[in-house]
């Protein structure tokens, strides 16, 4: 692979235009050092890229230079594509395989922290080349393999700019941890404390990174409400998330359960067309396909049934939509849903009856709903970009 092709074209402003004021103050940006950010993501589903897009958007809105690169594209010999394909197949078709890998290699506290994975080190030269060409003064991994890579390079002294890891999970498994990184920004205080114990390095809780449209809604919410009402007859709308890859256990059974008990299920099948076709014939079930207006859809729904504790879950919390964890994906999905429930930002249902009880309680106006919404919103503390820029300017 030619080094000229390692960085993709600059990302568009994530899910919206850059504010006019961002281009009106270039002199002020230069006075502040014109920090250049390189965000290192991974095309594993879409959650990590969604966080990368939002960090890039925020930085550009301040007049800074920001680019993103896929760490999987930096791996030689097609290893990145192979890793992505293996993980997608395991999660969709053989979740017990991933559960075993997670329990043995990744689960927090299961065994000593790795000192850096050989797989990550294979991308070292290419990442350093990207950093030089981007003239980055801070590197921001938002995926655990990228965090291992930057930590390894910082520890060796060959990456000469700070690396600030943005941990997107509610449970930071061991691959997130490397003492070479300068700072970890975490979703919760609990994760930050675990990172400090595991690395001996600074870690802070800034909360999830979510685009502003999720807090305010958008013009698309009204159209989504009309579409759901036409399909569901005015019943409470419950969003079922299967992630970008359309992975989950018993999705058809869950959709039928909700449709048969007074709810209007809307199933996010991601890019899994086979799943969408299988569910589209179920009475009372809406399967919209790939959704580009997630803020509008979330603001049109009354609750989210989640199985991964990923970006859809935190987007729902930002939108004020109560979350119920149900039949979570193995490994980090189950760990994250359990952490969310322990924090009080979601409910976790152990079976069909418990799921229905939670949804009946949370889709109705009242104290239970308000308490969950307030707890979810409280996670969003400060702008992670502010801490990233501060670390890069130091």
Q: What tens-digit pLDDT sequence spans the chain (394 residues)? A: 333 233 333 333 333 333 333 332 333 333 353 389 999 999 987 889 999 999 999 999 999 999 999 999 999 989 988 888 887 777 766 666 766 666 666 666 545 444 447 788 899 999 999 999 999 999 999 999 999 999 999 999 999 999 999 999 998 888 899 999 999 999 999 999 999 998 999 999 999 999 999 999 778 999 999 999 988 788 999 999 987 777 777 889 999 999 999 999 999 988 888 888 888 888 999 998 889 999 999 999 999 999 988 999 999 999 999 999 999 888 778 889 999 999 999 999 999 999 999 999 999 999 999 999 999 999 999 999 999 998 866 5
The C-alpha atoms of residue 102 and residue 297 are separated, in whole angstroms, by 32
3 state DSSP class of 166: strand
The C-alpha atoms of residue 344 and residue 351 are separated, in whole angstroms, by 19
The C-alpha atoms of residue 348 and residue 128 are separated, in whole angstroms, by 43
For 77, other C-beta atoms within 10 Å of its C-beta total: 9
pLDDT of residue 341: 96
pLDDT of residue 32: 52
The C-alpha atoms of residue 332 and residue 102 are separated, in whole angstroms, by 7
The C-alpha atoms of residue 69 and residue 71 are separated, in whole angstroms, by 6
Hunting for tokens 């390079």 — which residue is that?
Answer: 153
- pTM, two decimal places: 0.86
Domains of the chain: residue spans and CATH: 3-208+380-393 (3.40.50.2000), 214-377 (3.40.50.2000)
pLDDT of residue 393: 64
Hunting for tokens 């970890």 — which residue is that?
Answer: 184
pLDDT of residue 1: 32
What stretches of the chain show up as alpha helix (H) in DSSP? Answer: 20-23, 26-31, 47-61, 71-74, 79-93, 95-101, 118-121, 124-134, 144-156, 189-199, 213-216, 220-232, 251-259, 273-280, 294-299, 311-319, 332-343, 352-362, 367-377, 384-393
pLDDT of residue 118: 78
Hunting for tokens 């159209």 — which residue is that?
Answer: 223
């Amino acid at each position: 692979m030619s080094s000229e092709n390692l960085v993709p074209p600059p990302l568009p402003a994530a899910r919206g235009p850059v504010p006019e004021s961002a281009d009106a103050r270039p002199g002020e940006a230069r006075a502040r050092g014109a920090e250049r950010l390189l965000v290192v993501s991974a095309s594993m589903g879409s959650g990590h890229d969604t966080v990368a897009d939002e960090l890039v958007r925020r930085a550009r809105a301040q007049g800074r230079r920001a680019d993103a690169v896929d760490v999987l594209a930096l791996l030689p010999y097609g290893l990145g594509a192979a890793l992505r394909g293996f993980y997608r197949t395991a999660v969709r078709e053989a979740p017990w395989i991933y559960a075993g890998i997670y329990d043995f290699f990744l689960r927090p506290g299961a065994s000593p922290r790795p000192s850096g994975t050989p797989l990550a080190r294979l991308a070292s030269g290419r990442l350093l080349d990207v950093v030089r060409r981007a003239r980055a003064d801070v590197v921001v991994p938002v995926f655990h393999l990228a965090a291992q890579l930057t930590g390894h390079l910082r520890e060796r002294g060959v990456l000469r700019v700070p690396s600030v890891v943005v941990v997107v999970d509610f449970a930071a498994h061991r691959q997130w941890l490397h003492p070479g990184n300068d700072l970890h920004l975490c979703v919760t205080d609990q994760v930050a404390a675990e990172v400090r114990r595991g690395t001996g390095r600074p870690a802070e809780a800034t909360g999830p990174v979510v685009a502003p449209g999720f807090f305010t809604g958008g013009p698309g919410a009204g159209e989504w409400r009309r579409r759901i009402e036409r399909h569901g007859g005015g019943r409470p709308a419950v969003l079922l998330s299967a992630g970008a890859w359309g992975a989950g256990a018993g999705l058809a059974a869950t959709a039928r359960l909700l449709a048969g008990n007074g709810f209007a299920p809307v199933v996010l099948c991601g890019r899994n067309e086979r799943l969408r076709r299988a569910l589209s014939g179920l009475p009372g079930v809406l399967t919209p396909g790939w959704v580009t207006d997630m803020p509008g859809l979330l603001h049109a729904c009354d609750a989210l049934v989640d199985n991964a504790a990923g970006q859809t879950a935190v987007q729902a919390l930002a939108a004020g939509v109560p979350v119920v964890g149900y039949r979570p994906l193995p490994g980090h999905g189950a760990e994250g849903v359990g952490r969310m429930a322990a924090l009080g930002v979601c409910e976790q249902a152990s079976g069909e009856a418990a799921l229905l009880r939670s949804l009946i309680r949370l889709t109705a106006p009242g104290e239970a709903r308000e308490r969950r919404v307030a707890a979810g919103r409280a996670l969003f503390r400060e702008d992670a970009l502010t801490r990233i820029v501060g670390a890069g300017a130091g």
